[in-house]
Amino acid sequence: MAKGYIIGHITVRDPEAYKEYVERDTPILQGYGGRFIVRGGASEAPEAPMKDRHVVIEFDSFEQARTAYHSPEYQEVVKIRHATADSDIVLVEGV
């Protein structure tokens, strides 16, 4: 079965307030089987504009990633990210 991923490209506007999002999203996504395999770190975008921060969360399946993202508890926490950062989030099926 192909793995699933939630991939985020984020520019944080309010670092202090954004900390609450990170503290709350981590246990939720891990509770759905998510494993953070990229969370910040050095990055480069040789062919496109990019945001400041990148996150990749791996799940055992695409459906598991979808379930985690659309869960009521995660959607509640998403409000914090929307208020404190500019973000592009995509759900992707692996090979």
Q: What is the pLDDT of residue 1?
A: 87
pLDDT tens, position by position, 46-92: 998 899 999 999 999 999 999 999 999 999 999 999 999 999 999 99
Q: What is the sign of the dihedral through the CA atoms of 83, 8, 13 and 22?
A: positive
Q: What is the pLDDT of residue 49?
A: 86
pLDDT tens, position by position, 1-39: 899 999 999 999 999 999 999 999 999 999 999 999 999
Q: What is the pLDDT of residue 72?
A: 98
For residue 24, what are the contacts with CB-CB under 8 A and spacing of at least 6?
77, 80
* pTM (predicted TM-score): 0.93
SS (H, E, C) the chain: CCCEEEEEEEEECCHHHHHHHHHHHHHHHHHCCCEEEEECCCCCCCCCCCCCEEEEEEECCHHHHHHHHHCHHHHHHHHHHHHHEEEEEEEEECC
Instruction: List, in order of start, the domains of the chain with CATH numbers.
Output: 4-43+52-93 (3.30.70.100)
